[in-house]
């Protein structure tokens, strides 16, 4: 993996995971969906200067935190900026009462979490220190997911703790230089995408996910045409006695607690969906190289776990199937999820996540700063009202028990529905672990759960309706009359796809287009027309004629009332 020889401030292509987040930001700009917050309460005598120095040193060490994203002909690139772009905010609330101070602190936390990042402006980390009393502070960090993951938070707090302690004690900072930066990983990842090993892994996923129909729980409302991200969460706890039995069963059958909890949840999904073919997504660290372990960055990958529960197996058999599925997935984890989506090309749907709609994970307790002189540190819980999936089960292994939350899309589910899902999971888990040899059909579906009895509801009709395709005039034997915009779209598609469309009713995605190429097309068209064009326009108008019509409508809207009073500017007259 390249290291120090790379020029620090030279633009570098993004990793595949970063590219997908960049694309999603272009698709739905101005949203906080991928903000990653972490907050700690610091009680005791705080040295604000040492704290600012510690945060700044972390940002200096990790280029990905002080970068910005620029578009280029080769694709989106990361550009590293000087560390001076990072300036922490300090808010002093000691002039108010303790109750008012904490009320205001909670408001500030909510506002910072809801504020989107401009990926074209560095840095990718915001920090706010809130002083509620002379000896009581709240430190909030909000990082864009394009620059960090869960593992990164542990790295960040470890380095912060080391630098803060050294600054308070007047000692030199004793952190080893980083061998590589995230940009080096992105370069390495791209250089290995054509290797034989990766192609073998791709072949595995093609076979494993053939004819996949993602598991989808029955919903309370019709799925919207476009994902809003509006969410909520319900808490769940697996008590100590049941947690002990989960671990004992796992040891007997050589499965981890994650596999046991996942197996039970997949049984529940099978009950609710009426499908024996059950699919969920799960994150994996993605740090398969030792050089990247001390880095902050977006390394996490997503695996699709597809389990066959047909034949009414006992729960011990389900455990074996889940174990085999997970172990195989771990062995083929080098394929970036984004590459998998490009290869498999699932049906386009802006209203749901590709390949799976349910996420399941078991995490360690959140990382915290440690060893800060004169300070007591505690985690500050931040409510999460952003949904990225229909359902996301996030469990935390506390050692003696499991706690967690079920986050859900509020556009799809009522809170009471998810509360019953949480209770049903705990009840079914108790039964399955208690008598694991019995067939899974022996257990009744927990009362109150919604069970699919019909075909899932179709998505709501988009606000912008595509025009029904018509035969091309040239295909019908008559000369084709094409507008200036259609000619521009045809030319741009041919350049980007390296394929010449048959006519104005050719479909971008049927020609081999995917999300990242869609972003490139709309970027080129926008530059040619001097117009901001949303990437979503191509998803709603996937043919040449439809897209040209959508662009013409956007041009008219952009010109507005001025178009009625003034002649169209040169280069913007769209029809001959």
Domain count, the chain: 3
Average of pLDDT values for 396-414?
Answer: 96
Label the pairing between strands 136-144 and 35-44.
antiparallel
Residue 223 lies in a domain: no
CA separation for the pair 405, 246 (Å, rounded) = 19
307, 310, 312, 317 alpha-carbon torsion, rounded to 10°: -40
- 557 and 494 housed in the same domain: yes
- 407 and 279 housed in the same domain: yes
DSSP notation for 473-537: TTTTTSPP---HHHHHHHHHHHHHHSS--SSTT-BTTTTT--HHHHHHHHHHHHHHHT----THH
CA separation for the pair 140, 128 (Å, rounded) = 5
pLDDT score for 3: 59
Residue 150 has pLDDT above 60, yes or no: yes
Average of pLDDT values for 410-433?
Answer: 96
DSSP notation for 345-413: -PPP-TTS-SS-SEEEEEEPPPP-----TTEEEEE------B-SSSEEEEEEE-SS-EEEEEEEETTT-
73 confidence band (pLDDT: 50, 70, 90): confident
- 143 and 272 housed in the same domain: no
Q: Which helix (H) or strand (E) holds 190?
A: helix 182-191
- 410 and 502 housed in the same domain: no
576 confidence band (pLDDT: 50, 70, 90): very low
Mean pLDDT (the chain, rounded): 88
Residue 5 lies in a domain: no
Question: Any alpha helices (H) in 193-305, and if so which ranges?
Answer: 196-208, 240-253, 257-273
Residue 501 has pLDDT above 90, yes or no: no
Residue 58 has pLDDT above 90, yes or no: yes
Residue 38 lies in a domain: yes
Residue 560 has pLDDT above 80, yes or no: no
- 397 and 530 housed in the same domain: no
- 256 and 345 housed in the same domain: yes
Return the minimum-mean-pLDDT range out of 47-56, 349-358, 417-426.
349-358
CATH number at residue 516: 1.10.1200.10
- 255 and 165 housed in the same domain: no
Residues 6 or more apart in contact with residue 524 via CB below 8 angstroms: 492, 495, 496
Beta strands in 182-230 (DSSP E): none
CA separation for the pair 159, 140 (Å, rounded) = 16
- 344 and 422 housed in the same domain: yes
Average of pLDDT values for 151-161?
Answer: 97
Residue 465 lies in a domain: no
Q: State which of 151, 185, 219 marks the end of a domain.
A: 185
Residue 138 lies in a domain: yes
pLDDT score for 458: 38
Return the minimum-mean-pLDDT range out of 42-51, 404-413, 517-526.
517-526
188 by Cβ neighbours in 10 Å (0-12 / 13-18 / 19+) ranks as middle
- Strands of the sheet containing 375-379, edge to edge, are 89-92, 125-133, 136-144, 35-44, 375-379
- Radius of gyration of the chain, Cα coordinates, nearest whole angstrom: 26
- 240 and 95 housed in the same domain: no
Structure tokens, 30: 């101005």
566 confidence band (pLDDT: 50, 70, 90): very low
- 413 and 489 housed in the same domain: no
- What pLDDT, in 10s, does the model give residues 173-223? 989 999 999 999 999 998 887 678 788 999 999 999 999 999 999 999 999
Residues 6 or more apart in contact with residue 519 via CB below 8 angstroms: 22, 23, 26, 27, 76, 535
Residue 98 lies in a domain: yes
CATH number at residue 151: 3.30.559.10
Average of pLDDT values for 540-547?
Answer: 86
Q: State which of 442, 463, 492 marks the end of a domain.
A: 442
Return the minimum-mean-pLDDT range out of 87-91, 101-105, 366-370, 505-509.
505-509
Q: State which of 152, 185, 218 marks the end of a domain.
A: 185
CA separation for the pair 37, 145 (Å, rounded) = 10
- What pLDDT, in 10s, does the model give residues 248-267? 999 999 999 999 999 999 99
Q: What domain range is 546 assigned to? A: 484-565
- What pLDDT, in 10s, does the model give residues 436-462? 999 999 988 877 777 775 433 334 444
pLDDT score for 533: 83
Average of pLDDT values for 487-492?
Answer: 88
CA separation for the pair 7, 381 (Å, rounded) = 40
156 by Cβ neighbours in 10 Å (0-12 / 13-18 / 19+) ranks as buried
pLDDT score for 450: 74
- 109 and 39 housed in the same domain: yes
CATH number at residue 345: 3.30.559.30
- What pLDDT, in 10s, does the model give residues 29-46? 889 999 999 999 999 999
7 confidence band (pLDDT: 50, 70, 90): low
Three-class SS of residue 425? helix
- 79 and 135 housed in the same domain: yes
pLDDT score for 463: 39
Residue 431: CB atoms within 10 Å? 18
347 confidence band (pLDDT: 50, 70, 90): confident
Residue 125 lies in a domain: yes
Residue 200 lies in a domain: no
């Amino acid at each position: 993996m390249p290291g120090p020889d790379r020029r620090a401030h030279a633009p570098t292509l993004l990793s595949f995971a970063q590219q997908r987040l960049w694309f999603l930001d272009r698709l739905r700009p101005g949203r906080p969906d991928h903000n990653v917050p972490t907050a700690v309460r610091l009680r005791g005598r705080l040295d604000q200067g040492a704290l600012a120095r510690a945060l700044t040193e972390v940002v200096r060490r990790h280029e990905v935190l002080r970068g910005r994203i620029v578009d280029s002909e080769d694709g989106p690139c990361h550009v590293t900026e000087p560390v001076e772009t990072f300036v922490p905010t300090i808010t002093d609330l000691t002039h108010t009462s303790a109750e008012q101070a904490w009320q205001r602190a909670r408001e500030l936390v909510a506002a910072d979490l809801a504020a989107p990042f401009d990926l074209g402006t560095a840095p990718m980390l915001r920090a706010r220190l809130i002083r509620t009393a002379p000896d009581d502070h709240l430190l909030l960090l909000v990082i864009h997911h394009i620059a960090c993951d869960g593992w990164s938070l542990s790295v960040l707090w470890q380095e912060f703790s080391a630098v803060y302690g050294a600054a308070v004690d007047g000692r030199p900072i004793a952190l080893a230089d980083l061998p590589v930066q995230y940009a080096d990983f992105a370069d390495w990842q791209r250089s290995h995408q054509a290797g034989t090993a990766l192609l073998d892994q791709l072949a595995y996923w093609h076979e494993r996910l053939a004819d996949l129909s993602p598991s989808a729980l029955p919903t309370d409302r019709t799925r919207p045409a476009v994902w809003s991200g509006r969410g909520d969460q319900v808490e769940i706890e697996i008590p100590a006695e049941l947690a002990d039995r989960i671990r004992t069963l796992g040891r007997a059958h050589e499965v981890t607690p994650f596999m046991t909890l996942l197996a039970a949840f997949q049984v529940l999904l099978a009950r609710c969906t009426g499908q024996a073919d059950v699919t969920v997504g799960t994150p994996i660290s993605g740090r398969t190289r030792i050089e990247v372990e001390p880095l902050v960055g977006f390394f996490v990958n997503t695996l699709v776990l597809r389990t066959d529960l047909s034949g009414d197996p006992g729960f011990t058999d389900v455990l074996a199937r889940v174990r085999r599925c997970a172990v195989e997935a771990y062995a083929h984890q080098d394929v970036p999820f984004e590459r998998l989506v490009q290869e498999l090309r699932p049906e386009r749907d802006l209203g749901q996540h590709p390949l799976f709609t349910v996420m399941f994970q078991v995490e360690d307790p959140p990382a915290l700063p440690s060893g800060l002189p004169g300070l007591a540190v505690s985690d500050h819980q931040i409510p999460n009202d952003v949904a990225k999936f229909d359902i996301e089960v996030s469990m935390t292994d506390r050692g003696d028990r499991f706690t967690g939350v079920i986050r859900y899309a509020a556009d799809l589910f009522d809170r009471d529905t998810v509360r019953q899902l949480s209770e049903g999971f705990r009840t079914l888990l108790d039964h399955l672990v208690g008598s694991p040899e019995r067939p899974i059909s022996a257990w009744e579906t927990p009362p109150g759960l919604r069970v699919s009895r019909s075909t899932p509801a179709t998505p709501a009709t988009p606000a912008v309706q595509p025009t029904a395709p018509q035969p091309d005039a040239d295909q019908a034997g008559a000369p084709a009359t094409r507008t200036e915009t259609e000619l521009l779209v045809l030319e741009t598609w041919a350049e980007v796809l390296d394929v010449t469309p048959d006519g104005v009713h050719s479909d971008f995605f049927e020609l081999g287009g995917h999300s990242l190429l869609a972003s490139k097309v709309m970027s080129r068209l926008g530059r040619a027309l001097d117009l901001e064009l949303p990437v979503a326009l191509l998803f709603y108008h996937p043919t040449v004629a439809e897209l040209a019509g959508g662009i013409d409508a956007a041009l008219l809207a952009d010109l507005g009332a001025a178009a009625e009073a003034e002649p169209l500017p040169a280069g913007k007259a769209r029809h001959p």
